[in-house]
Amino acid sequence: MNAPDPVLIVGGGIAGLSAALGVAPTPVLVLSRAQGVKGAASAMAQGGIAAAIGEGDHPADHARDTCVAGSHHNDLAMVDILTQSAVDAVHWLEQQGVVFDRDAEGRLQLGREGGHDRSRIVHAGGDATGAKVMQALVAAARSAPHIQRRADVDVDGLVLRDGRVCGVCLLEADGTRSVVHGRAVILATGGIGGLFAQTSNPADADGSGLALAIQAGAAARDLEFVQFHPTALAIPGVHSLPLVTEALRGAGARLLDEVGNSLMDGVHPLADLAPRDVVARRVWRACREGGAWLDAHMLGASFPKQFPTVFQACMARGIDPRVQPIPVTPAAHFHMGGVATDAEGRTSLPGLYAVGEVACNGVHGANRLASNSLLEGVVCGRRLGQLLRDMPPAEAAESHYQVLRRKPSLDAASLLHLRDLMMQTMGPVRSGAAMHAALADCAAMDGWQGTLAQMMLQAAIARQQSLGAHYRVD
Ligand code: SIN
């Protein structure tokens, strides 16, 4: 007798693994392009997990900050779900083996980041929260009998029967193609940072899952809203850049121009802790006028212990951040838009679900609040897993399968050109004329990345007023 069709999960980051663990005991097959934690943006996350866990804090306060950051474009029901589930998410992660940082008295250490009205961010291993969380979830998934994993495969198509998604097409590195059937398909493929010349995401976070869903006819929403992190480590010619976490500015680090003047004084009352889009635009301008640096010398000897990931990234490039300013640049960081879903993760296509950054349930509005993304992955991943736990295996049917494959990829030179085009025209500062010119350029490209870029450009052109991370000079 054949094993029953599993739930198929495309992507092995925090959202995919939280869903995989939540669906137990229903069988799951997790498909990813890379082994273990490699390739998952979650593992690179340096911020932590926001939760109203401190004394006197309340989910309603966390919700208010989430909506202010999102320019009130947020789905309020979703914001309530996220902020009210946050403390439970932290406890669940502890049960999976994550050890959050505590003070000498054993209390959780709470950090502060831009947009939060107080310290409310839990961290693990200082700035290594994403890596620590992913290590624990990968270990939990390895020991869970209902979870199978297959790495080094690209999912480049969806299989439908009678209008319902019931499987995926796999493409292996050696070109071998196959089809896997499942009772449901969850996309947890992350964001689109890889489509930009500078990103804090791994290059694999290139919108491939979003493109797949759109090609199969699933609705997408809010594609114009892309968050740029103001401080990635500036390394000329490098595409996927190490992040220089905002928590450094929470701890007192300051942004400077080439002659050592403050970049943020007088720009916003919160100065270096102004909303991320405000800081990103200022750093973007400074980078065109001579450069931008983050001065964190005041952290002194505590730097390596508090921020081990940033410390190592700087030292590896010959910069000692205890005594030298860190060169920084804005980088594409998070996509608030994506495959449209309801609060549970259902897309407009029966049988297809989406969770994490690839999905858009409206929780982040027009700009995501710091440290709400790992949180979303855990909260929404677990909710979706629980929804699909009782889903019966697909029944055998006589009708024919329909295979909807993504278009082929762009060639390497065109992809480089597209990334530059996206950075210049869909970056922190946008104008209608530049976006129209880029649209014509993308229309002449053959690969799926060109089609996705066109849709993002169209959404950004259609939104004529600045909102959140979408800032138009015209
Ligand atoms: C950071 O550590 O600066 C990023 C945190 C986030 O994106 O939430």
CATH of domain 408-474: 1.20.58.100
Mean pLDDT, residues 55-84: 97
pLDDT of amino acid 290: 93
Tokens representing 198? 């500078």
β strands within 266-336, DSSP E: 292-295, 326-335
pLDDT tens per residue, range 194-235 = 999 999 999 889 999 999 999 999 999 999 999 999 999 999
Residue nearest to ligand 1 atom 7, measured at CA: 370
Ligand 1 within 6 A of CB of 375: no
How far does residue 106's CA lie from ligand 1's centre (Å)? 25
Of 243, 369, 374, the residue with max ligand 1 atoms within 8 A of its CB, to mutate for a pocket test, comes to: 243
Q: Smallest Cα–Cα separation from 317: which of 234, 198, 231?
A: 234
Ligand 1 within 6 A of CB of 332: no
Say whether pLDDT at 297 is over 90: yes
pLDDT tens per residue, range 76-128 = 999 999 999 999 999 999 999 999 999 999 999 998 888 888 999 999 998 88
Ligand 1 within 6 A of CB of 371: yes
Residue nearest to ligand 1 atom 2, measured at CA: 47
Task: For the chain, give the mean pLDDT.
Answer: 94
Ligand 1 within 6 A of CB of 231: no
Mean pLDDT, residues 296-324: 95
How far does residue 66's CA lie from ligand 1's centre (Å)? 14
Contact predicate 375/86, CB 8 Å: yes
Catalytic residue among 112, 276, 382, 383: 276
How far does residue 253's CA lie from ligand 1's centre (Å)? 15
**Atom in ligand 1 nearest the alpha carbon of residue 47:** 2
Contact predicate 124/378, CB 8 Å: no
CA 439, CA 443: separation in Å to the nearest integer?
Answer: 6
Ligand 1 within 6 A of CB of 74: no
pLDDT of amino acid 392: 78
How far does residue 393's CA lie from ligand 1's centre (Å)? 39
Helix, strand, coil distribution of the chain in percent, nearest 5: 35, 20, 45
Q: Smallest Cα–Cα separation from 291: which of 334, 253, 236?
A: 236
pLDDT of amino acid 112: 85
Q: Tokens 């054949």 map to which residue?
A: 2
Give yes or no: 382 in active site: no
Say whether pLDDT at 1 is over 50: no
Is pLDDT larger for residue 35 or for residue 457?
457
Q: Per CATH, which fold does 7-192+336-401 belong to?
A: FAD/NAD(P)-binding domain (3.50.50)
Least confident interval from 37-41, 362-366, 393-397: 37-41
CA 401 from centre of chain: 32
Q: Per CATH, which fold does 230-331 belong to?
A: Flavocytochrome C3; Chain A, domain 1 (3.90.700)
How far does residue 105's CA lie from ligand 1's centre (Å)? 27
Contact predicate 457/212, CB 8 Å: no
Q: Which residues contact 49 (CB under 8 A, 6 or more apart)?
A: 86, 89, 90, 93, 121, 122, 129, 133, 371, 374, 375, 378
Mean pLDDT, residues 443-455: 95
Tokens representing 434? 């530049």
Ligand 1 within 6 A of CB of 47: yes
Ligand 1 within 6 A of CB of 200: no
Ligand 1 within 6 A of CB of 182: no
DSSP lists the bridge partners of residue 293 as 256, 327
The full set of domain ranges for the chain reads 7-192+336-401, 230-331, 408-474
3-state secondary structure of 111: strand
pLDDT of amino acid 46: 78
pLDDT tens per residue, range 415-434 = 999 999 999 999 999 999 99
Q: State the pLDDT confidence band at 445, using cuts at 50, 70 and 90.
A: very high
Mean pLDDT, residues 33-38: 71
How far does residue 90's CA lie from ligand 1's centre (Å)? 17
Mean pLDDT, residues 379-408: 87
**Atom in ligand 1 nearest the alpha carbon of residue 231:** 3
Q: For the chain, what's the residue count? A: 474
pLDDT of amino acid 164: 94
